[in-house]
Structure 1
Amino acid sequence: MENQADKSQDATPYKLEEAKKKGQVGKSHEFVSACSLCVMSFGICISIPKLVNILSIQTTSWIKNTNEIVKSPILVIAQLKSFAGDAFEIIGSIMALGVLAAVLSSLLHIGSVFSLYPLKFDLEKLNPVNGIKKIISIRGLVELFKLVLKVIFFAIATFFVWRQFKVQILHPGTLSPYAILNSWKTALVAMTVSILIVFILFAIFDLWYSKREFAKKMRMSTRDIKDEYRKREGDPELKNKRKKNLVELLRNLGGASKIRNADVIITNPTHVAVALQYRSKTMALPIVLTKGRGFFAKFIIKRAKMHGIPVYRRPSLARKLYAEVAVNNVIPTSEQQIIADIYKEIIKSPNSKVFL
């Protein structure tokens, strides 16, 4: 049995296409998540002023109409619906951008993939041994290593942001309210950008690793490539045999029009038919004018009877001539005597049309 070390050849396009039909592609979920997160963060940054404006308008409306709202539960519900509708419009837009980014990033690095094969019920998926193998596999160790590095990088990013803005955050007394809010905003933006940069770096690594791991998984051995070629194109030996049979059939069909010129038909009795011809002035020995088996043998016999050509039942001779002698070739010397005896019988026949 071949092991992974024997699979040194890159996967063929056919194998990759078949794997894609089963939903097997080198996909990086982390890359998709990072793209979606970046787009959603950008959407939030754009939407914050609008959301603050809506919140300001709603708060002003509540304060101005406090007396009426307190007396009427209907107004309370109306105010809540109005605020929820405005907020949902913004949040929904941000979520839609995230979904769109996820779809586009998937199309970008794996193309269009739709397969129901992963949904196929398979008892092997419930095997706990396979689950344990995945956990302790190289991929599992890589994921664990990435998780540790992420925690470290996030801690480093948080530390640098905190060191940069800790004075403004811990000692805001000397700052104006606007400066305090602005410092918090700047710190939040810096923290968000730092986290996104870390996510993007790990996403790029995961994309590279996923592609590399999938390519390694799809590798083929020389034997796999040969087997795939046989599966797609057919066994070369079988193809050559079919080609040889086709050439022979075409040659026999070409000789079918010459049946009327044959002297005798040797049969087995209907499975094989061989038409012989002999002209003493131009031929040293009789030749096989045409031959056939099965349906073509019956056709030869039928045409021979139409033209009054004698048909001799000689099973062993018919089989040997069919197997050993090509069309337009002379008979073997080992069969000269028996064929000569057949020709003597034909010549003695009162209806003989043989002209030697």
Structure 2
Amino acid sequence: MAEPASDGQEKTEEPTPKRLEKAKEDGQIASSKELFVFSTLFVGFLLYLLLLPFMPNILMEWASLFRFSGENGLQDETFRNLSSGFVFIFWKSVIFAFPLLIVVILTQMTMSGSINWSSSALAFKGNRINLLKGLKRMVSVKALVEMLKAIGKVVLLISAAVLVFAWQSDTLLMSQHTHLFGGLSRIGDVFLLLLIVFLLVLAGMGIIDVIWQQYQHTQQLRMTLQEVRDESKQTEGSPEVKAKIRRLQMTAGSRAKQRKAAMESVPTASAIITNPTHFAVALKYEVGSPGAPLILAMGRGLQAQEIMEIGKTAGVTIFRNELLARALFFAGEIGEEIPPPLYAAVAAVLAFIYRLNKEEDVEAPDVDLPDEMLFDENGKALS
């Protein structure tokens, strides 16, 4: 059954990678005490086997710490032996402690997949000292499971020990009929067998506990459907925003295609009206054709310079008129006819260019524009 969230919704969804990563940052990772117990005991057992040939020398070194000749003074020998004893204990402890430390780190890496260091897990949390929450944790299902695990572990280990001693009872009883070292050897064999059985029991419990802890960890991090949606919005943006971005991208792509097509059509233009450098509008008109002149391309700044360069290369006549260039740029649209209020002005310009191309001696026309077609360089009406 899915665990209910604080808002009443059930946590039915598997935790997302972002949720798992956030849990790691907060120090919330799966961990198995039984696996730690097994791994440390197993490594300790291997160290015991490796150091077994050196045990006589170690025991002799330890025994030497309790010999006092009195030749150099009993007090001096006592302090010297105490100092040697501390050094002996320290280095022998390091031999066991260092491998155990490594195996603890590797065990946690096996559980979580990496070494996890979380500073937030060390931070003070006031809710941890809440008496009611503390009592709730003590009587929770998790606490009950932990208690049953502890009882089960004790029962299994005691049962395993009883079975081993019952199985090896003849060996233990016969130890009294042999010499001292023979009896100690038999007891050592039984002790070794007992350790192996304990390791097998702990290995089985460790595997079961790892599966349980992973299940519990996943259950605690499960999310409601609304939490998954909210996280998706935070990560990828809301559907409305994404749709708006797609529209803008499509618009930008369409404008880029339109601009490219417009630039390709500039060489076929009848004239280019400029400002003289800030604006450029390419017009096309076939004499005798119905309709008004078409706007093939227009631009400002660098785009205007590009239109004029293409026009010069193609031999298109460039006519400079500041107000007309602005009017066409701000009132017209690429691919459409020029605005009706500009018919007369554009007709006069095209007629001048037509006669000029015929190599007639003509003067540039005075272009008069309606008041509503007068703009400054920012597209603001001058009237």
Q: Structure 2 residue aligned with 1:54, among 44, 58, 71?
A: 58
Preserved contact between residue 278 and residue 287 of structure 1 (Cα < 8 Å) = yes
Corresponding letter in the other structure for 1:118: A
Preserved contact between residue 252 and residue 290 of structure 1 (Cα < 8 Å) = no
Q: Structure 2 residue aligned with 1:106, among 97, 105, 108?
A: 108
Distance in 2, matches of 1:224 and 1:279, equals 62
Q: Structure 2 residue aligned with 1:156, among 136, 139, 159?
A: 159
Give RMSD over aligned pairs.
Answer: 4.6
| TM-score normalised by length of structure 2 | 0.65
| TM-score normalised by length of structure 1 | 0.69
Q: CA deviation at 1:57?
A: 4.6
Corresponding letter in the other structure for 1:340: P
Q: Structure 2 residue aligned with 1:182, among 185, 204, 209?
A: 185
Preserved contact between residue 11 and residue 222 of structure 2 (Cα < 8 Å) = no
Q: CA deviation at 1:60?
A: 5.9
Preserved contact between residue 277 and residue 289 of structure 1 (Cα < 8 Å) = yes
Preserved contact between residue 51 and residue 87 of structure 1 (Cα < 8 Å) = no
> Which residue of the partner structure matches residue 207 of structure 1?
210
Distance in 2, matches of 1:221 and 1:262, equals 63
Is the helix fraction higher in 1 or 2? 1
> Which residue of the partner structure matches residue 238 of structure 1?
244
Q: Structure 2 residue aligned with 1:279, among 285, 289, 293?
A: 285
Preserved contact between residue 11 and residue 215 of structure 1 (Cα < 8 Å) = no
Question: What CA deviation, in whole Å up to 9, does each residue of 1:59-111 have, x standing for no partner?
Answer: 36755x54537x42112222333344334322210111101111222233322
Q: Structure 2 residue aligned with 1:308, among 287, 302, 321?
A: 321
Question: What CA deviation, in whole Å up to 9, does each residue of 1:302-328 have, x standing for no partner?
Answer: x99x942516779xx95xx7xxx7x43
Corresponding letter in the other structure for 1:41: F
Call closer, same or farther: CA 1:182–1:43 in 2, change over 3 Å.
Answer: same
Corresponding letter in the other structure for 2:31: K
Preserved contact between residue 175 and residue 186 of structure 2 (Cα < 8 Å) = no
> Which residue of the partner structure matches residue 79 of structure 1?
81
> Which residue of the partner structure matches residue 341 of structure 1?
341
Preserved contact between residue 256 and residue 290 of structure 1 (Cα < 8 Å) = yes
Q: Structure 1 residue aligned with 2:121, among 110, 118, 122?
A: 118
Deviates more, 1:115-124 or 1:37-46: 115-124
Q: Structure 1 residue aligned with 2:256, among 250, 261, 282?
A: 250
Q: CA deviation at 1:153?
A: 0.6
Q: Which runs of 5+ in 1 are unaligned?
A: 266-272
Distance in 2, matches of 1:135 and 1:285, equals 88
Distance in 2, matches of 1:237 and 1:197, equals 59
Call closer, same or farther: CA 1:308–1:131 in 2, change over 3 Å.
Answer: farther
Corresponding letter in the other structure for 2:203: I
Q: CA deviation at 1:164?
A: 3.6
Question: What CA deviation, in whole Å up to 9, does each residue of 1:280-309 have, x standing for no partner?
Answer: 6667566565678xxx79987xx99x9425
Distance in 1, matches of 2:298 and 2:139, equals 68
Call closer, same or farther: CA 1:344–1:121 in 2, change over 3 Å.
Answer: farther
Distance in 1, matches of 2:197 and 2:100, equals 19
Q: CA deviation at 1:243?
A: 0.9
Does residue 42 of structure 1 match 2:46?
Answer: yes
Call closer, same or farther: CA 1:117–1:340 in 2, change over 3 Å.
Answer: same
Call closer, same or farther: CA 1:213–1:73 in 2, change over 3 Å.
Answer: same
Higher relative contact order (CA 8 A, sep 6+): 1
Preserved contact between residue 273 and residue 321 of structure 2 (Cα < 8 Å) = no
Question: What CA deviation, in whole Å up to 9, does each residue of 1:211-248 have, x standing for no partner?
Answer: 23333444456665555455444443133023124224
Question: What CA deviation, in whole Å up to 9, does each residue of 1:35-62 have, x standing for no partner?
Answer: 1221023213433553443323553675
Deviates more, 1:105-114 or 1:203-212: 105-114
Provide the secondary structure at the position in 1 that maps to 2:71: helix
